[in-house]
Amino acid sequence: MNKTAFDACIGIVGAGAIVASSHLPAYRAAGFRVGAIFDADPERARQAAAQFSIPRVCATFEELLAAPEINIIDIAVPPDFQPAMARAAMQAGKHLLCQKPLAWTMDEARALVEESERAGVKLAVNQQMRWDPIIQATHRLVREGALGRVMNVSLDESVLTDWFQWTWIPPAPQLDLMLHSIHNIDSLRYLFGEPDWVFAATGKYPEQRERAETRSITVFSFPGDILAHMSVAHKNWSDDQLCEWRVEGTEGIIRGRFGHLDDYPHGGPDRMEFVRRGEKSWTTIETPGRWFPDAFRGPMGSLIEAIRTGGAAETNGRDNLRTLALVHACYRSAEERRAIMSPSRI
Ligand SMILES: NC(=O)c1ccc[n+]([C@@H]2O[C@H](COP(=O)([O-])OP(=O)(O)OC[C@H]3O[C@@H](n4cnc5c(N)ncnc54)[C@H](O)[C@@H]3O)[C@@H](O)[C@H]2O)c1
């Protein structure tokens, strides 16, 4: 394949809520071509195709893989189906954007990444929070040195999440860290690198019907003596839904509020402010766009760019193994009630 002439044409598997609300609007805005869609529920695929002018609705996954114009498969189905679909797509020579988690286990995730490398196709994971406006603005300010030396980071979420809108989530063996906070963890890695150690505690609520944890509190120690604290709770029944972000440095402080969990999956805008040491007033930092749907342009755009240039996608499979390892390290920490050292090596 001529790399510079690569003409991306996406085939989507799954036409559920997230595809209709985020993948497809973001791809349309970015001008990415979607050539075909398949869903086990054909009516859902037909509806998405009609709404977003997708020229082809496939009757089977095999038909999607056999379509010669499709060169990227975007998987958006529940995680149990993903490994087999990813393998079939690789064998058909298609590049891949996979859902998070790439797999439930490290062994399975590693095997998928290695198989994609052997097959000579690019595999990236849809960890789109990196492109959330607050995370992007924080990344810029940290890189510019506006905060001086970063010391403390906190991400506090206390929200009401209806996990029952997905039939497969309530019985899942792992919940908050694996299915939700994996985005937070990936973004912390993106901003501050690989932590030296992690300490996590997880919990449930007395009345909950979900099988696994719906609360977690985690502390990360990043190189440079950065301490980060992530607190996530999913059964806040009040009208005070909390989703706050704070990064304190020796020369500047960021404070912000994520809007993505307002009216999920539509979301609202983020808000962010910055104060420099010695200044009295906080300055509003522009955070254009939203996580849903705008950030969904990021992982696919980065994958397309990587295919074109022969480089690595921002959220490539190798990188994502470190995010997944950190998630597993959090579970191990919670289970063994101790800090886990060098967690990304798990
Ligand atoms: N921010 C994010 O990254 C984010 C947000 C929400 C959901 N997700 C993930 O996206 C995936 C889909 O989530 P959703 O919210 O759209 O769920 P959903 O339940 O609304 O839709 C899932 C769709 O997949 C289809 N499907 C299920 N099994 C299939 C199979 N074997 N072959 C073909 N189609 C199949 C279903 O018919 C349904 O249309 C999940 O893995 C979920 O974890 C990611």
Is the beta carbon of 103 within 6 A of some atom in ligand 1? no
The yes or no reply on domain 10-128+296-312 and CATH 3.40.50.720 is yes
Atom 35 (ligand 1): residue with closest C-alpha?
40
Is the beta carbon of 202 within 6 A of some atom in ligand 1? no
CA pair distance 153, 255, nearest whole angstrom: 10
Burial environment of residue 158 by CB neighbours within 10 A (0 to 12, 13 to 18, 19 or more): middle
Structure confidence at residue 265 (pLDDT): 66
Centre of ligand 1 to C-alpha 338, Å, is 34
Is the beta carbon of 78 within 6 A of some atom in ligand 1? yes
Separation in Å, CA 229 to CA 84, 206, 219, 330: 36, 24, 5, 13
Atom 1 (ligand 1): residue with closest C-alpha?
128
Same fold flag, 10-128+296-312 and 129-294+326-345: no
Atom 17 (ligand 1): residue with closest C-alpha?
16
Contacts of 105 (CB under 8 A, 6+ apart): none
The yes or no reply on domain 129-294+326-345 and CATH 1.10.287.1770 is no
Is the beta carbon of 76 within 6 A of some atom in ligand 1? yes
* Spans of all domains in the chain: 10-128+296-312, 129-294+326-345
Most informative mutation of 58, 73, 77, 80 for ligand 1 (most atoms within 8 A of CB): 77
Contacts of 127 (CB under 8 A, 6+ apart): 100, 182, 183, 186, 187, 299, 315, 320, 323
Atom of ligand 1 nearest to the CA of 129: 1
CA 187: distance to chain centroid? 8
HEC states along the chain?
CCCCCCCCCEEEECCCHHHHHHHHHHHHHHCCCEEEEECCCHHHHHHHHHHHCCCCECCCHHHHHHCCCCCEEEECCCHHHHHHHHHHHHHCCCEEEECCCCCCCHHHHHHHHHHHHHHCCCEEECCHHHHCHHHHHHHHHHHHCCCCCEEEEEEEEECECCHHHCCCCCCCCCCHHHHHHHHHHHHHHHHHCCCCEEEEEEECCCCCCCCCCCEEEEEEEECCCEEEEEEEECECCCCCCEEEEEEEECCEEEEEECCCCCCCCCCCCCEEEEEECCCCCCEECCCCCCCCCHHHHHHHHHHHHHHHHCCCCCCEHHHHHHHHHHHHHHHHHHHHCCCEECHHHC
Is the beta carbon of 88 within 6 A of some atom in ligand 1? no
Is the beta carbon of 166 within 6 A of some atom in ligand 1? yes
Centre of ligand 1 to C-alpha 81, Å, is 10
Is the beta carbon of 172 within 6 A of some atom in ligand 1? no
Structure confidence at residue 262 (pLDDT): 80
Is the beta carbon of 35 within 6 A of some atom in ligand 1? no
Which sign, positive or negative, has the C-alpha torsion 183, 27, 161, 239? positive
Length, in residues, of the chain: 346
Is the beta carbon of 39 within 6 A of some atom in ligand 1? yes
Atom 30 (ligand 1): residue with closest C-alpha?
40
Tens of pLDDT, residue by residue, the chain (346 residues)? 444 579 999 999 999 999 999 999 999 999 999 999 999 999 999 999 999 999 999 999 999 999 999 999 999 999 999 999 999 999 999 999 999 999 999 999 999 999 999 999 999 999 999 999 999 999 999 999 999 999 999 999 999 999 999 999 999 999 999 999 999 999 999 999 999 999 999 999 999 999 999 999 999 999 999 999 999 999 999 999 999 999 999 999 999 999 987 877 677 899 999 999 999 999 999 999 999 999 999 999 999 999 999 999 999 999 999 999 999 999 999 999 999 998 887 7
Structure confidence at residue 4 (pLDDT): 53
Is the beta carbon of 18 within 6 A of some atom in ligand 1? yes
Structure confidence at residue 3 (pLDDT): 47
Estimate the crossing angle of helix 106-119 against helix 317-336, to 10 degrees.
170
Centre of ligand 1 to C-alpha 86, Å, is 15
Please give the model's pTM, rounded to 2 decimal places.
Answer: 0.97
